[in-house]
Structure 1
Amino acid sequence: MSIETRQNRINRLNDEIAKYRSKIADESSKAASNRSKAERITFGKNDSAFTRKSKLNRQQGYLKKASESEKKVAGYNAQVAKLSENLSKENKYLQREEATQRKKERKQQQDLQQMYEERIRELESQTLSSYMVAAPHNTNNFEEDHTKEFDVFVSYASEDKEVVESFVLELKKLGVRVWFDQLTIGWGDSLRRSIDNGLRKSRFGIVFLSPNYINPNKYWTTQELEGLMQTEGEFNRKILPVWHKLTKQQVLDYSPILASKKALTTADYTVEELAGEFKKILDPKQK
């Protein structure tokens, strides 16, 4: 049985129990009211036989109604007990099924992460080998590599344009050479060719991860991220994630590899501070 079906059963049982408890409260109130009415009937010494008989009949009527309500309460309580027992069983089944599902999801997540890591190692090995053949004389660290046209390629979702533009402005104030589509792509330029060119000519890749960025329907952000990750090992390029309105779990669900990287967040840093942190990486001597 699926977890959803099990949960629907539990919901129905809870609804039935709630209805019976409402009936119990209603009948208990009726029983108490009728017993109270019966107790308020008094018999006087001067009552005639007719009056006494009338009072007695009314009293017995109230007591009968109270007894009927109490019987209903007992029946409803029995139903609640039976439903509660079934509910307890269903909850235990649900807990076991959820535990099995979580175990299955963890296994899938581990397999996926292992696949990602193996793919990244394979790509790094391929790009490093090709780089060593093409330029064996270049052994500089990425901090010392000034052969690139841009210091950083900024990848972001268009919905986050406002905060990213502010960040880019702070980078430019610090003298950082930024590939940013709003600044770099000219009128009539090919978008795909311009992005590819920016990826090749940038030393670092800053990825503004946000709910908009990881949206599965986003084509360009996916393409940019894949381009950055596939060439991360080439020429010592490094990906620097910035989390914007995201949780650790959301990033982990999107990409275990990205989640394993140290990231800064817009919740903890202003755009000025983020730019300053990048400048420290770019020029460690100015720390």
Structure 2
Amino acid sequence: MTGVAVSEARLHELAARLMEVPGIIGVLLGGSRARGSQTSDSDTDLGLYYRQPLDVAALDELARAVAGPQARVTATGEWGPWVDGGGWLTVDGEPVDWIYRDIDRVVQAAVDAEHGRYAFHAQAGHPLGVPDFAYAGEVALGVVLADPSGQLTALHDRVQAVPPALREALVSGLWEADFLTGVARKAVARRDAAYIAGCLFRIVGVCAHALHGAAGQWLINEKGAVAAAAALPGSPERFRDRVDALFTKVDADPLHLSAVLDAAADLVLDTADACAMMTR
């Protein structure tokens, strides 16, 4: 690895070549590079927005041409229902990820978000689940590299602001965090630390999404979600430290488990208060 990101000119060249693959309608630069927060070890994420049928054979041939004979891409859906598919490539000595996105599914996710409808979907590698509105958030936070038809640019402009109905729904979703603290207490007598830890993870995830909803900010990934929530103006005091403390105190001692759940309940209440203040 060189530690030097793939150049802007190279990215635009790749995007132009990708547009020659039947089925691809647009290319979006995503991830930390699009947000300007990349580090020397960050991958470059390229969203390949397609409409079926996607010519995977032609895409595979292009992958080998730009990333070497060992490169390959997947069939659509091979990485699971929400990550979809793509390829982990090395271009000019640097990691470049091609990630499929079905444009019609992305548009539907944006419509659902505008109506305050969302859900977390099971997906390998995503313990909280993939929120369907992440598709819209990816477009909002990304940089359009190629879009001959204008569809991707139009969607990018449409989803810049988190829809008011989604913001309200995410804050209302705090009911689940409150519910889970009560459910987890039933596992204290059984010393079921693993189950309680699982409940705590979801409680924290729901709180992070509620805070982002209240702040009108897209949250599209579990990675770094707690730090991102803690950095929001108006977030509960010491949010990140309090979250970290929850997990460091989980063991098989019922007294410790009860104390952890008491702290979690306080965090949920403080999150609700913070959301109320942020949405005034």
Structure of higher CA gyration radius: 1
* Smaller-chain TM-score bracket: under 0.3
Higher helix share: 1
Higher strand share: 2
